[in-house]
Amino acid sequence: MVSSLSACLEDEPYEGGGGGDPVPADVTKYTLGTPTSYSTKLDGLSAVCMNEAGDGILIAQDNGNVLEFSLEGVLQKTNAMPNPDGRSKVDLEGITKASDGSIYLCEERFREVWKLSADHTGMTEVLPKGPNETDETGYEENQGYEGIAAGPGVLYVANQSGPKRVYKYTMATATWEKAFDATWATSLSDIYYDDEDGTLWITDAKTQKLTQLKTDGSKLQEISISFVKKPEGFCKDVTHKLFWFVCDKESKIYKVSYQKQ
């Protein structure tokens, strides 16, 4: 099903950056352009990544769908994921594309990572379970895996707030470990691995901030993204020099150009 969505430009150009500690001199700074938003009228937009060809985006919907959109915000296809084990609820919260084109998803409540099938209608693999967080201080069922990012041979998984933690899964050994705790954050809503410089980006849905970090959790810079009411998902489109966001509060997709300083 192809659906045309309404697009609108924000009234004023957006001045990115600010709102955090001074940016180190050797870190690339980013300036954002004027955001374009697409109203989808779809609930539960949770995460976004580029598709395998790089000519569209994939969005994870927390009710268990994987949505395919063009770069102009037109819905191309809705793929309903199967409900494994007859669960009462599937809560997809993260989606990422690995360097080999594989797409991975993370499910929040059961804290699982799935490899998406080539036709986007199911999964070909469920990765070994991660750490048992039920023994962690602050554990909550609906505060689990909220974002996933693919780096070279590894996956990074952001746990929302129970605890606020990033885990690393090494594919060659099928092992998990803690990467770092994000004590500075309020609520981790997505994570993205940047192939250009080997860093991570994390969105905070409550503070409306995008934070760039080293893979050990050291903060590099913080960018205000206040034009997104509740930034649930983020990815970087290097080819077209765009940042993509999804907002489940407004049921919108945002894209905004960036320039490096």
Per-residue model confidence (pLDDT) at position 130: 76
Cis status, amide bond into 163, omega within 30 of 0: yes
Per-residue model confidence (pLDDT) at position 20: 55
d(CA 175, CA 186): 27
pLDDT above 70 (res 220) = yes
* 98 class by beta-carbon count within 10 Å (0-12 exposed, 13-18 middle, 19+ buried): buried
Structure confidence by residue, pLDDT tens digits, 161-213: 878 999 999 999 999 999 999 999 998 999 999 999 999 999 999 999 999 99
**Confidence grade of residue 45 (pLDDT, cut at 50, 70, 90):** very high
Average pLDDT of every residue of the chain? 87
pLDDT above 80 (res 125) = yes
Contact (Cβ atoms closer than 8 angstroms) between residue 73 and residue 5:
yes
Per-residue model confidence (pLDDT) at position 129: 82
- Residue ranges and CATH numbers for the domains of the chain are 6-260 (2.120.10.30)
> pTM of whole model > 0.85?
yes
Per-residue model confidence (pLDDT) at position 133: 59
% of the chain beyond a pLDDT of 70: 85
Per-residue model confidence (pLDDT) at position 84: 67
**180 to each of 110, 138, 192, how far by Cα in Å?**
21, 16, 15
